[in-house]
């Protein structure tokens, strides 16, 4: 398990860029858009990674969101994603109390 954690920590900085082509070719954004539109109530996302899924949630349907990851560097990237989406007014969670990363 320690090996996997170290691996995730090492690839965190370039993860989104490296997997962007795979995301596009497999149409993962479409699947996430449909699947996560059903999320409602209290949501726990395990393996939140860099926060790539944030923009797909409908914040009006979600009471609380908790994202967890075992890689502290992935979580740092997720926080950066949150800030970037908020700057563009694309972050779906309006209430700061309803969103947390651990």
Residue with the two structure tokens 């082509």: 21
Does CATH number 3.40.50.150 belong to domain 2-101?
A: yes
The pLDDT, as a whole number, for residue 57 is: 94
For 44-83, how does the pLDDT look when each residue is reduced to its tens digit (9 = 90+)? 999 998 999 999 999 899 999 999 998 888 899 999 999 9
Label each residue of 34-58 as H, E or C.
Answer: HHHCCCCEEEEEECCCCCCCHHHCC
Q: Tell me what percent of the residues of the chain surpass a pLDDT of 90.
A: 45
CA distance 56 to 39: 10
From the number of C-beta atoms within 10 Å of its C-beta (0-12, 13-18, 19+), residue 102 rates as exposed
Q: Extract the tokens encoding 22.
A: 């795979």
């Amino acid at each position: 398990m320690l090996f996997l954690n170290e691996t995730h920590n090492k690839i965190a900085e370039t993860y989104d860029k490296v997997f962007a082509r795979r995301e596009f070719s497999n149409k993962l954004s479409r699947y996430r858009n449909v699947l996560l539109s059903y999320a409602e109530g209290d949501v726990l996302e395990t393996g939140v990674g860099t926060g790539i899924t944030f923009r797909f949630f409908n914040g009006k349907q979600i009471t609380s969101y908790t994202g967890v990851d075992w890689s502290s560097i992935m979580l740092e990237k997720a926080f950066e994603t949150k800030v970037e989406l908020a700057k563009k007014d694309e972050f779906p969670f309006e209430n700061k109390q309803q969103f947390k990363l651990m």
